[in-house]
Amino acid sequence: MENNPSENLKKLADKIQDIKTAMLVTAEEDGTLRARPMQTLKLEENTLWFLTGSNSSKSHEIKNESHVNLSFADESSKLYVSVSGIANVNRDPQKIDELWSEPFKAWFPEGKDDPNIAVIRVDITQAEYWDTPTSPVVHLIGYTKAVLTGQQYHPGDNEKINVQ
Report the pLDDT value the prediction gives residue 149, as an integer from 0 to 100: 53
CA dist 113 and 15 (Å) reads 33
CA dist 135 and 28 (Å) reads 40
Quote the pTM value: 0.82
Report the pLDDT value the prediction gives residue 43, as an integer from 0 to 100: 92
CA dist 36 and 32 (Å) reads 13
Q: Per residue of the chain (164 residues), what is the pLDDT tens digit?
A: 456 777 878 888 888 999 999 999 999 999 999 999 999 999 988 999 999 999 999 999 999 999 999 999 998 888 999 999 999 999 999 999 999 999 999 999 999 999 999 999 999 999 998 887 654 444 444 444 445 556 664 555 666 777 76
Q: Residue 26, Cβ neighbours under 10 Å: how many?
A: 24
CA dist 150 and 162 (Å) reads 32
Report the pLDDT value the prediction gives residue 5, as an integer from 0 to 100: 72
CA dist 67 and 136 (Å) reads 37
In sequence order, the β-bridge partners of residue 68 are 85
Report the pLDDT value the prediction gives residue 13, as an integer from 0 to 100: 87
Residue among 72, 45, 68, 82 nearest 120 (CA) = 68
Amino acid letter, 84: S
Domains of the chain in start order, with CATH, are 5-162 (2.30.110.10)
16 membership: H or E segment, kind and range: helix 5-16
Report the pLDDT value the prediction gives residue 106, as an integer from 0 to 100: 95
Report the pLDDT value the prediction gives residue 142, as an integer from 0 to 100: 47
